[in-house]
């Protein structure tokens, strides 16, 4: 009798899978929808901006490398999302491993962060009244950022999509922490041959690779269920360690970087090593605040943050 019930349940699962696969068909009309049109504009504008930035020439500046990466990564991810939705593969992904709406909204939020920050950095370093080419690239970069912000507004406020993790506060907090860590790494300079500052860099580096793994594991719910340990407990321990590391960096980095190193008189905001080093200190405090709030919310179990 038990075997018969188990067989019936399994047959029901198979029928659900067949029904899901039957709905996964090629639908080019997706490109004609408002969402599809917005994705096409994002891809096109990012590629044009990437090509314009590439023709402008390389730079020893890490911000230029970050800009080129953002203008390549964002449209590639948007193209992958568009293809998956065009072939209705998101139905299969929804059934087997992830909340697709949460993933796409989260990616739009992440792309907004990247493109808006790139527009600000690029305009600051390369745009001026006499630099017409840099000004044109900056305008295209700003438009790219606006397009991704529009998608976030559409998803969160017009379509009222509710995120289960990535587009909700707990997941987006992790995305912010990873984003600020990236800003720290592309701004690092002048720490060589100084042991304490190298320790600060190590403090920045330890949490950074773990953040994407936590995000990916929470998105892929089937993978999360297969883990041999409690992920929420692991995240809590990770946050405690991250806060301790960032407290160390927040104290040591400003002391050893700016001791006997005042801001030079000829330090323009567009390009000055001291100003970039100051940005590292600023982002250190930003990430310390983010990790601390993440830890407090996790302890209190509010806003969807889980506690164990």
| pLDDT for the residue numbered 3 | 47
In a domain, 124, yes or no: yes
Q: Are residues 15 and 74 in the same domain?
A: yes
> Which of 111, 135, 164 is the last residue in one of the domains?
164
| pLDDT for the residue numbered 10 | 43
Q: Are residues 157 and 15 in the same domain?
A: yes
In a domain, 1, yes or no: no
Among all chains, which residue has been given the structure tokens 């922490």? 177
| pLDDT for the residue numbered 9 | 45
- Which residues of the chain carry a pLDDT beneath 50? 1-13, 17, 21
DSSP of 40-83:
HHHHHHHHHHHHHHHHH---S-HHHHHHHHHHHHHHHHHHHHHH
List the domain range (segments joined by +) for residue 144: 9-164
Q: Are residues 184 and 138 in the same domain?
A: no
In a domain, 159, yes or no: yes
Structure tokens at 170: 């707990």
Q: Are residues 305 and 160 in the same domain?
A: no
pTM of structure: 0.85
CA distance 115 to 46: 9
Among all chains, which residue has been given the structure tokens 């970087």? 257
| pLDDT for the residue numbered 231 | 86
Beta partners for 131? 128
Domain count, the chain: 2
CA distance 163 to 304: 10
> Which of 130, 164, 198 is the last residue in one of the domains?
164
Q: Are residues 260 and 286 in the same domain?
A: yes
pLDDT tens-digit profile of 90-149? 888 887 778 888 899 999 999 999 999 999 988 888 877 777 888 999 999 999 999 999
pLDDT tens-digit profile of 253-282? 999 888 887 877 777 655 678 888 888 999
């Amino acid at each position: 009798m038990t075997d018969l019930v188990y067989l019936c349940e399994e047959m029901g699962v198979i029928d659900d899978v067949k029904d899901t696969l039957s709905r996964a068909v090629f639908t080019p009309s997706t490109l004609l929808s408002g969402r599809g049109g917005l994705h096409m504009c994002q891809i096109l504008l990012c590629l044009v901006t990437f090509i314009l930035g590439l023709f402008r020439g390389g730079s020893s500046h890490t911000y230029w490398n970050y800009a080129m990466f953002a203008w390549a990564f964002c449209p590639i991810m948007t193209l992958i999302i568009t293809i998956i939705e065009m072939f209705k593969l998101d139905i299969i992904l929804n059934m087997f491993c992830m909340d697709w709406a949460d993933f796409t909204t989260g990616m739009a939020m992440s792309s907004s962060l990247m493109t808006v920050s790139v527009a600000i950095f690029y305009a600051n370093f390369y745009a001026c009244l006499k630099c017409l080419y840099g000004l044109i690239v900056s305008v295209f970069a700003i438009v790219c950022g606006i397009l991704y912000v529009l998608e976030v507004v559409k998803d969160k406020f017009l379509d009222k999509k509710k995120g289960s993790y990535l587009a909700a506060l707990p997941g987006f907090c992790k995305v912010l922490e990873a984003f600020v860590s990236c800003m720290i790494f592309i701004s690092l300079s002048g720490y060589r041959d100084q042991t304490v500052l190298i320790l600060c860099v190590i403090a920045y580096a330890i949490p950074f690779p773990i953040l994407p793994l936590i995000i990916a594991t929470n998105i892929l719910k089937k993978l999360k269920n297969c883990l041999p340990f409690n992920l929420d407990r692991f995240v809590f321990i990770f946050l405690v360690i991250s806060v301790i590391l960032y407290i160390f960096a927040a104290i040591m980095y400003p002391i050893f970087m700016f001791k006997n190193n005042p801001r030079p008189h000829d330090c323009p905001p567009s390009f000055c090593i001291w100003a970039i080093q100051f940005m590292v200190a600023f982002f250190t405090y930003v990430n310390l605040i983010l990790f601390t709030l993440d830890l407090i919310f996790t302890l209190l179990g509010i806003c969807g943050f889980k506690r164990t």
